[in-house]
Amino acid sequence: MSKLLNVRVLVTGGASGIGLVIARQLLDAGARVHVCDVSSDALQRAGAELHGVSGTLADVASESDVERLFADVTMQLGGLDVLVNNAGIAGPTSPVEETSLQDWRRTLEVNLTGTFLCTRRAAPLLKVSGGGAIINIASCAARLGFPNRSPYSASKWGLIGLTETWAMELGPAGIRVNAVLPGIVAGERQDRVLQSRAALEGIDVEDVRRQRTQAVSLRSMVSAEDIAESVVFLCSSAGRMISGQSLSVCGNVETLR
């Protein structure tokens, strides 16, 4: 199946976790994919695992790294049709009064400023391509309150504002901008998040996992593959009239309390 034949895509934070699965599905759909990541080990493993992927070691929160990243993208892909702003960190699990300014700043710098820096460089390339798509990987925490996760919550709600703003700004140039809101995605990062929450509340991690799943209408976590499929859909011609939307892929998380 080549529904994205030769479509040129950049996936940030694409060397592991959800980003890696997105990159894999895009490649399987025929796209040409460049990934960036802050972890050189992960980048090396991704290069070995994903046939045909190119990569740059870059921190999306660093303006100079993002400049270097886009120089690589232009060299490797010769332009850009799709940007997937996936790089993100969980930030601290702590009540607001115990959250350090340093943790607050770093979470916003990666999740929000990183998305801004990449989009700022991608927009002119997408315009040269005659249109394209930007997909911001937010979270179901972008539509619900999330106790003890202030910086994460602020950064992900911020992404929804940017999605709706950029859809309006860039739409006349044929650029569609949407957000995908993953729910509780089974995997290593979720394990770390659940462990932090269990430690904060002094309860067993399996009890936290059960509580979380009980708050999902479909009573299930989602997989990274579920998220990647929605990204492929939004990039493909099936999504050609979709812009400015927030697509929750979460089994309907009812609360993050």
What does the binding site for ligand NAD look like in residue numbers (CB under 6 A)?
12-13, 15-19, 36-39, 42, 59-61, 86-89, 110, 114, 137, 139, 182, 184-185, 187-190
We find the least distance from the C-beta atom of residue 173 to ligand NAD, in angstroms, to be: 25
Give catalytic status of residue 152 as yes or no: yes
Smaller CB distance to ligand NAD: residue 84 or 126? 84
Pairwise CA distance, residues 95 & 166, whole Å? 32
Number of H helices and number of E strands within the chain? 9, 7
Structural contact between residues 32 and 4, judged by C-beta atoms closer than 8 angstroms = no
Nearest to 164 by CA among 174, 152, 178, 180: 178
State the catalytic residue, choosing from 152, 157, 167, 253. 152
We find the least distance from the C-beta atom of residue 192 to ligand NAD, in angstroms, to be: 8
We find the least distance from the C-beta atom of residue 31 to ligand NAD, in angstroms, to be: 19
We find the least distance from the C-beta atom of residue 147 to ligand NAD, in angstroms, to be: 16
Residue 188: how many other CB atoms lie within 10 Å: 9
Pairwise CA distance, residues 17 & 45, whole Å? 12
Smaller CB distance to ligand NAD: residue 29 or 46? 46
Pairwise CA distance, residues 10 & 66, whole Å? 12
Structural contact between residues 30 and 52, judged by C-beta atoms closer than 8 angstroms = no
Find the length of the chain: 257
Smaller CB distance to ligand NAD: residue 128 or 218? 218
3-state secondary structure of 157: helix
Smaller CB distance to ligand NAD: residue 219 or 241? 219
> What residues act catalytically?
152
